[in-house]
Amino acid sequence: MAHAYLFCGPRGVGKTTLARVLAMALNCPKRTSDGEPCSECESCMRIWSGQTSLDVVEIDAASNRGVDDARDLRERAMYAPSEGGRYKVYIVDEAHMLTREAWNALLKILEEPPPRIIFVFATTEPHKIQQAASPILSRCQRFDFRRIGVADIIARLSHVLVGEGIAAPEDALHTIARRADGAMRDALSLLDQVLAFTGGEITDEAVGSILGLVPQERYVELFEIVAGRRHGEIFRFVESLLEEGYDLVEFYHGLADAQRTLLRLRLDPQDATPELRPDLRELYARCAARFEAGDLVRMLALLADLEVDGSFRKTAQPRMLIEMLLLRFSYLDRTVELEELLRSIGTAAEGVARSPDRAAAAPSVITGSTGGAPVSRAAAPSRSAPVRDRDTVPAVAPAAQGPGASTPIIEPSSAAGSKTDVSEPPQRHELAKGWQRMIDEGVGLPSGIRPFLQAAMVAEGEGDRVVLALPPGPGLERLQSPGVRARVEAALARYVGRQVRLEVEAAGNVGAGRVSPEELRRERLARLVEREPVLGRAVEELDLELLD
């Protein structure tokens, strides 16, 4: 046996219970050869019921957390057990509440414990012990307790009800088990509460009403409203919840569970989904099929954001936050595949080529960047969506822009000269490819110059002239040095197959020494277009400009 144990885990999962079982096993005179206590002798009964015992002492550290309490405990621990062959066990509950000084007072006895003395510390927050007294952790055997599964909780509740001679439907027990959130103690307390209110007649409806749970069918109703883009019904839905007496905080937590279940079914229709009642599986499966997985992920992210920033717990108007969250769901951009987008671009281009006079009536197709970036398609012909970073996989598209839209909009360019010219000569494309290869491989480049070249804009000039534009700063100053510029010229010539003459200038408004945000966006879009001709074609056909 170790002389000190640390039991960590969520509340209600059996930390103190197991500490008592350990004390029973150590002191039971009739324990079996494998250490199991008999649970029937006087010693076992006194320990299990929490009655006074000379050799087993339970201490609530939340009420006895000071250094004087720790010193008193240390002095009492110096006395031997009441009988030979027994152990003195000190069970310290809520151990994280002990002060740093109290831990220091206990440290010595934990380092050099008296014989047949055992400490069991139970805590829900072991990180606080780490912060207050990290040396304590190395002197204890640590055991981490986990939350108890729904199936195990249901089995235990059924066992208790059978012993009481009470029948209960499995759906009602399933609801209680889910509400307990892995804590067996909470599940048993909730069962007591339900029995007290129902007089022993347990039904699923009664359990939901007593616990204040929103029926899962209401979440299906909400998902149908969101999928149908019936924005105005959001207000009526929330109002009906309040009229029926449901707590919006409870609704929020239930919505998170329902949203997660919907995503699981969308990703894997064969998922057993243990959190879902069997009779609701078909309803959820049909509802999940109306959403793309990417849409459900973003809806779940919006739910998580409301909890992470703490605004929902602090607000005095939870109704407004819930309504705005659900409206954002209903206005959320829809996902489209990149292949569908490219086919749409080709179809639109062919239609314009056959009928130029109808070009203005062609529907707008919104593009994203290449390499699997988000691609959006707006319902309104004049709308278009952002060209985004290359490494984003889902493709999103708003069916209609509104107050809850989460994706920024790119309007067709209206300022003179803002449209990116993508019909550059093939020579410029070769220059761009050679320039990128030179940066990627770095052969012949001066040391430390590559990050500055990556941020530069390169353009074809007359003859062998190549114009390089950089933001003001150390990169511009280094490249204006004749020696550095000559080495970059030689390296670039190796990749484009011809001699070049590099001219370096400041990007943007040289006189002001700053580059405007509009110029930076145009320059970034131009770089994307140079690397990806397909994106360039979309920008040219649809007159798009980069927004974000």
CA distances from 83 to 54, 86, 273, 392 (A): 10, 6, 54, 70
465 phi/psi in degrees, rounded to 5:
-80, 135
Which domains are present in the chain?
Answer: 4-144 (3.40.50.300), 150-211 (1.10.8.60), 216-332 (1.20.272.10), 335-353+360-397 (no CATH), 426-542 (3.30.300.180)
Contact (Cβ atoms closer than 8 angstroms) between residue 153 and residue 184: yes
Name the DSSP letter for residue 514. B
The DSSP line for 416-466 is: TT-S------HHHHHHHHHHHHHHHH-TTPPTT-HHHHHT-EEEE-STTEE
Q: In the chain, which residues have pLDDT < 70?
A: 52, 272-275, 309-311, 334-429, 460-461, 508-517, 519-520, 531, 547-548
Question: Is the entire prediction scored with pTM above 0.75?
Answer: no
Q: How far apart are CA 17 and CA 500, in angstroms?
A: 80
CA distance 548 to 396: 14
For the CA atoms of 83, 87, 88, 91, the dihedral, rounded to the nearest 10 degrees, stands at -150
pLDDT of the residue at 365: 36
> What local confidence, expressed as pLDDT, does residue 284 receive?
87
Paired tokens of 355: 């009928």
**Which residues 6+ apart lie within 8 Å of 50 measured at CB?**
20, 58
Cβ–Cβ under 8 Å, residues 140 and 7: no
3 state SS of 7: strand
Measured CA to CA, the distance from residue 167 to residue 162 in angstroms comes to 7
What does the pLDDT read at residue 270?
Answer: 79
pLDDT of residue 147: 92
**Residue 119 CA neighbour count, 13 Å, CB half:** 28
Encoding tokens for residue 405?
A: 């839209």
pLDDT of amino acid 353:
54
Structure tokens that stand for 147 in this block:
């939350």
The whole-angstrom separation of Cα 540 and Cα 38 is 83
pLDDT, tens digit, 9 for 90 and up, residues 476-496:
788 888 888 888 888 888 888
Angular region, 288: left φ>0, alpha ψ -120 to 50, beta rest? alpha
Residue found under tokens 């207050």: 132
Task: Kindly report the backbone phi and psi dihedral angles of residue 365, in degrees, each rounded to the nearest multiple of 5, phi listed first.
Answer: -115, 125
Q: What is the pLDDT of residue 161?
A: 93
